[in-house]
Amino acid sequence: MASPSMLLVTLYASSLMATHASNFYQDIEVTWGGDGRAKILNNGELLTLALDKASGSGFRSKNEYLLGKFDMQLKLVPGNSAGTVTAYYLSSQGPTHDEIDFEFLGNLSGEPYIVHTNVYTQGKGEREQQFYLWFDPTKDFHTYSFLWNPLHVLFYVDDTPIREFKNAEPSIRVPYPKNQPMRIYSSVWNADDWATRGGLIKTDWTQAPFTASYRNFQADACVWSSGVSSCASKQRPSSSNYTWMTLDLDSTGRQRLRWVQKNYMVYNYCSDVKRFPQGLPPECSINSTA
């Protein structure tokens, strides 16, 4: 008999529609921080978000999605960005929301960025893992990706997996994000009460504006519209490729994941026994790390 996870794969993969987004004019809407802090440039190919002492800025995708592969190229705030956070994430709405997060924590000039990741299911988060990057993310654009399919959520940096959150709902009844449609969000905002060295380093407003840049957003995903997922459509273009729906890590991917977690992981909630004196969260038993 097929496992519950494989039944989910079969159900969702049976008939899919996808979207490939590439123009910010048609794909996103600015949600806060007007007065020129959010700018779409180069005929929709480039977007910038800025933070100054008066306000940050942010956007969200026009579409909602239910499962997919999402890529965005970002160039993070350069120089002394201590106290700032650049957030790029998927989220649904409401108190029991689902959310899949990248948050890039600013730093003093010359120090490495910390990539903060988290996963919320049914309103419950506290599943933080943090990593250093193995390059300077302010010098050029790099690709940050979410894979969200019935098997797991994977976080990628330049196609290298850095984190896996498996679907443990069939086996140990940990809720998995599978029913609530989510939008892509991003923002640049001030968090100097916690972002850099636990809030010890404050934002230097003489360095403002703090600007992050975006390009090449792609969503190969099921679009949610008027309460219906395009995954339920009976129409499937013969030329489409939906390998992301059943994508798992091969041996090379597992090796790369272990390499990142061994060499660049800063914090893992599944190793924090002081934080969870009554026992680690149950999903830690199947989300093994290096």
Enzyme catalytic residues: 99, 103
Closest CA to 28 of 184, 161, 225, 145: 184
What is the dihedral sign for C-alpha 267, 170, 181, 236?
positive
Give yes or no for a contact between 119 and 100, defined as CB atoms under 8 angstroms apart. Answer: yes
**266: which residues sit within 8 A by CB, 6+ positions away?**
114, 130, 131, 132
Paired with 213 in beta bridges are 48, 75
Q: Pseudo-torsion of CA 191, 197, 202, 208, nearest 10°? A: -70
Give yes or no for a contact between 132 and 114, defined as CB atoms under 8 angstroms apart. Answer: yes
